[in-house]
Chains A and B, each alone.
Chain A
Amino acid sequence: MNIRHHLSDELLVGFASGTLEEGWRLAVATHLALCPNCRARLTLMEDAAGELFESISPVPIEVSSFDRLKQRIRNGERNRSASPRQPTEAVKMVSPPTIPEPLRTYLGGDLADLKWKSLGRGAYHIPIKLADRSTTARLLRIPAGKPVPEHSHGGRELTLVLRGSFHDGELLFARGDIEEADASVEHQPVATPGQDCICLAVTDAPLRFSSWFMRLLQPVLRI
């Protein structure tokens, strides 16, 4: 795979430090599953954080603290995983899933298992349930070759391509590519002809209809 559009430092730092809200984190984690490049950057950040952690000023601990810990160990919170984790041996499946984890679990299955909801004119979506309500996430299927009217965003938006591709101006976004857009971005994405484009889209909640796919669908839905 040849990923051209990667995560910003800010998103990666947010992932590494744990400050990202669930929806953004879902998109970032799913990109990371597909992108060794960003995982290497993440590793560097985590190692740097680990180094900072080594040099943190230690806080005193009571002697009884370790006694308690030993008690817990004795009480059966025992060393469960004495055997090392098996190194990843990529299971050669006839066809590996198109949608990687963690997104697949959120959707409850791979492409073939999905129950798309029609939005008319060949477009479909699946809203994704998040525990955190500050973002909205959905899987989208944009009909092949559909142009999208030019627009700007009301908020932040992450779009991760999972199948097919779209053009935004000169830029091509294909599987694994992630587009980060905010209110200042004007763009005109067009799904590439030949194949419907399936992507994960995360926006600030409540859903802003200014995001490009909703703009596309607004006339259809009359919203």
Chain B
Amino acid sequence: MIQEAEGIVTGAMETILAISATAGPDIPFVRPEHESLVELGRYKKRGRMIEPAGELTNDEACSLLEAVGRDGDIQSFETLFRYYGPRVKAYMARLTRDPNIAEELMQEVMITVWNKAGQFEATRGNAGTWIFTIARNLRIDAYRKNRRPDFDVNDPAFVPDDTKSAENALADRQDATRLKDAMKDLPQEQIQLLTLSFFDDCSHSKIATKLNLPLGTVKSRIRLAFARLRAALEDGK
């Protein structure tokens, strides 16, 4: 079983790129309930499964990431892996039906989390967002051949924030809690549009076609969703 698994590792990213190039980024991925069960069955034959950890608060996740970054603590890393590994893999699986590709991309994400955990505290107070951002960047790099230009906060021409820098990590963590609550209150139709946008690589016009909605409706629902979230965060201040 282990050998089978290690066979997959050979070639790592090159293989992923080659396979995903043929799979293409545009596969509509609407995962029916039963499909994940089929997949589960397939895995059961191959090896013992990790039970995905069900609960991890943001504070816990932040402490674990700090322990990994500061001390290279492998046990903290394993706890993070049990919680986030299955989620990262689920995110990767939205653009590919091949579980091996999803697995390899998840491995790449988690090794990056290990490598970059030391940078976490200085960036932002939300562990889930931080890991998601790493996963998203790796996914873009795997599925898109072109470069991924980004701004550079260390560039002397960069215009820094005037207020945000003064805020501390605690305020950021309170924001994270408020945002979590606000997301729970969003109407399902708005959650659906955000999911299609962020997880399924759908542009506004693609969503409009997919859901048979006017483009204007898609735009206004998305605008509304962010306006609600912004208002919820500002209410808490």
Contacts and interface: CB of A to CB of B under 8 A. Distances in A.
A79 B71 CA distance: 9
Interface in B104-152: 106-107, 110-111, 114-124, 126, 128-133, 135-137, 139-140, 144-152
26 contacts: A13-B198, A17-B197, A19-B201, A26-B149, A33-B151, A33-B155, A40-B161, A47-B129, A49-B136, A51-B183, A52-B194, A53-B87, A54-B128, A60-B50, A61-B103, A68-B9, A69-B81, A73-B114, A77-B114, A77-B115, A80-B115, A84-B119, A91-B156, A98-B157, A101-B158, A102-B152
Contacts of A77: 111, 114-115
B198 A131 contact: no
Interface in A11-63: 13-14, 16-19, 21-22, 25-26, 29-30, 32-36, 39-41, 43-63
A36 B164 contact: yes
Interface in B24-67: 36, 39-40, 43, 46-50, 52
Contacts of A68: 5-6, 9, 107
Interface string B185-223: 000000100110111011110000000000000010011
A10 interface: yes
Interface string A142-161: 00000000000000000000
Contact of B52 (A58, A82, A90): A58
Contacts of B164: 36, 40
Given A18-B139, A61-B50, A99-B157, A79 B115 contact: yes
A30 B151 contact: yes
B17 interface: no
Given A9-B219, A62-B50, A68-B107, A50 B122 contact: no
Nearest to B183: A51
B74 interface: yes
Given A68-B5, A84-B118, A50 B128 contact: yes
Interface of A: 1, 9-10, 13-14, 16-19, 21-22, 25-26, 29-30, 32-36, 39-41, 43-70, 72-73, 77-88, 90-91, 93, 96-104, 106, 130-132, 176
